[in-house]
Chain A
Amino acid sequence: MEQKINKNVIGMWDALKGGLVLVVILGHTFATAAEICQVSEWPILFRLISKSQGVVIFTFFIISGYLFKPKKNGIGKQYFSYLRIYLIASVGIVFAQIIHNYFSGTAWNEQLGRLILGLFYGATSHSVLNGVRLISPVAMWFFLVFMNGSLILQWIMRLKKEKIRNMVIFGGVIIFFLWYGLTGQWGKYPFTDAPLFPIQTGVAVGLMYIGYLLKENKVLFRPFKLCFCLTAAMFALAVFYYGDMDIVNNQYRLGILDWAGGICGAVTLIAVYIRICNPDWKIIEWLMWLGRRSMWIIPIHSVETMLIRWDERQSLAAAGVWPAAIIIFILRCTIIVFICQVIEKLQRKIQIKKRKTAV
């Protein structure tokens, strides 16, 4: 008899995270290639990947919630381990800006103040503070939202009654969408520009909590009813086609329907992945490598974008939009993998040194 494979292992979840990270980088790459080549009509794959970014981010938060465990102790330590990565990456981004200024022949501190403000304020690409346009440090918003969202969820989980937890989390999300719909702010970028992404964090906490509930109720590994799956998938596809989700700018074309459709899409994606993928596949192993390092890859991706400024590489325009996208993607991935390996070597050295000191 064939042995049943256990797919609820950390490697499988990391592989999915790795795949999602790749889609995010691919989305940024396509946008850059289209900008360099000044393409008015994006190729269909570019549009598809760009539009799927919302579902990808939703899936990432739901997986984080699935792997979430309420803790009584050590919440601060865990938060500071994330904060340390954020601060190291911020220093890297600031240095990347200085190096970029040096090679582009501008003053060393050009744009530096707006960038540092952007890092500590939590800026989107539309953020303005006292009339000063802030610089958005690429994907770092995600890191801040994840970090603060995890901390808030830990606090909320201390509420003993599940009903109250549900009210706090889902009530917050519903209030946001009511406010969003009733105040006539629909379509205004950004919807709110408060420091440190409070609304984005609230939405993310809701998604993480859904991931947590999926685990607690063992939903993902249960056999699904076909009609339920088809309805969820159809709803997700309809919302994907007619709606538009931009979690970083709090923009949802269909309001709360976008949010619900995004959740259906993300859960369907996870359920299909669990059923189809085999841990023995080589590609799963590669994706796992990326997924395990996703908390480093997101900041590294921000640093390499600030350093190289792919959108300024006009020489790539002559190659055409597809070759430009492929070249940028390959170079990007190579740089990210290289920096990851350097960090790992450093960590290993520190580990050995610590051990020697302890002995």
Chain B
Amino acid sequence: MNREKILEYIISSIESMDTDEAVDPEASLIDDLGLESLQIYELIAELEAVLGIRIPEKILMRVDTVEDLADEVYRLTGEK
């Protein structure tokens, strides 16, 4: 999966979590989307299952926006 597809997948997953508005790639996971730890954890588990990779916890220290998450996950798929 390329970066754009990963980004699209993440956006559709977040939208399915009942967010009220369309998800902007530059939206902050906390401040704009108000995602909770449990939801982010579910999203990460879903990405791991879909992409067949392990996503280490520590990437969440660098992830602020939806795009950041897509970049980190894409980098990990390249390292697989």
Contact = CB atoms under 8 A, between A and B. Distances in A.
B37 A291 contact: yes
Nearest to A15: B61
Given A73-B20, A74-B18, A294-B37, A285 B57 contact: yes
A132 to B, nearest CB: 35
A199 B20 CA distance: 31
A11 B30 contact: no
Nearest to B49: A351
Contacts of A293: 41
Interface in A244-287: 279-280, 284-285
A10 B18 contact: no
Contact of B61 (A68, A77, A81, A284): A284
Contacts of B1: none
Contact of B63 (A10, A280, A294): A10
B34 A285 contact: no
Nearest to A278: B61
Contacts, number: 86
Contacts of A355: 49-50
B33 interface: yes
B34 A68 contact: yes
B10 to A, nearest CB: 14
A contact face: mostly helix, strand, loop, or mixed: helix
A69 interface: yes
Given A73-B20, A292-B57, A348 B45 contact: yes
Interface residues of B, number: 28
A10 B30 contact: yes
B17 interface: yes
A77 B60 contact: no
Interface in A270-329: 279-280, 284-285, 288-289, 291-295
Contact of B34 (A13, A69, A279): A69
A146 to B, nearest CB: 11
A160 interface: no
A12 interface: yes
Nearest to B37: A292
A87 B24 CA distance: 35
Contacts of B29: 10
A9 B33 contact: no
B80 interface: no
B18 A11 contact: no
19 contacts: A8-B31, A9-B60, A10-B29, A11-B57, A11-B60, A17-B37, A71-B18, A71-B20, A74-B18, A74-B19, A77-B18, A279-B62, A285-B58, A288-B57, A288-B61, A292-B40, A292-B60, A295-B37, A355-B49
Given A9-B60, A69-B33, 12 more contacts: A6-B64, A10-B37, A11-B58, A11-B60, A13-B37, A67-B37, A69-B34, A71-B19, A81-B38, A285-B57, A292-B41, A352-B49
